[in-house]
């Protein structure tokens, strides 16, 4: 323990996996097994409890910047996927998802 008082984001904050985990948790009321320790966006190892997926709760500036960048990157990927013939999501769904990701990115920037 470093006594670091900041709240960080998990490095993979914008990965589809964590979005899915959140969806599963909210849909079924289950809480997925949280790892004890995670790598953060700023490269630290902190207890999972010291991270948040709520932009307003993240106080580590490096992590906020990381999360903003990651959400914008994922938004672009989702848009590209929506334009790919035979993609598992429609262009409209992809556009909506990308918009949601950009909104989140905006909240990390604020």
Percentage helix, strand, coil for the chain under 3-state DSSP, each rounded to 5: 55, 10, 35
Q: Residue 38 forms beta bridges with which residues?
A: 46
Q: Nearer Cβ to Zn ion, position 64 or 98?
A: 64
Q: How far is the CB of 40 from Zn ion (least distance, A)?
A: 4
Q: How far is the CB of 31 from Zn ion (least distance, A)?
A: 23
Q: How far is the CB of 45 from Zn ion (least distance, A)?
A: 11
Q: How many CA atoms lie within 13 A of 30 on its CB side?
A: 8
User: Residues 66, 41: contact at Cβ < 8 Å?
Assistant: yes
Greatest CA span in the chain, whole angstroms?
A: 50
Taking residues 40 to 79 in sequence order and writing x for each that binds Zn ion by CB under 5 A, - otherwise, the string is x-x-----------------x--x----------------
Q: How far is the CB of 2 from Zn ion (least distance, A)?
A: 11
Q: Nearer Cβ to Zn ion, position 39 or 77?
A: 39
The CA radius of gyration of the chain, in Å to the nearest whole number, is 15
* 8 binding Zn ion? (CB under 5 A): yes
């Amino acid at each position: 323990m470093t006594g670091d008082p900041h709240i960080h984001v998990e490095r993979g904050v914008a990965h589809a996996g964590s979005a899915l985990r959140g969806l599963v948790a909210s849909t079924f009321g289950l809480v997925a097994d949280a790892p004890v320790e995670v790598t953060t966006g700023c490269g630290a190892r902190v207890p999972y409890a010291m991270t948040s997926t709520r932009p307003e709760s993240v106080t580590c500036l490096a992590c906020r910047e990381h999360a903003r960048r990651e959400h914008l990157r994922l938004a672009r990927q989702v848009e590209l996927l929506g334009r790919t013939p035979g993609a598992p999501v429609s262009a409209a769904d992809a556009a909506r998802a990308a918009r949601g990701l950009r909104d989140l990115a905006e909240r990390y920037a604020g």
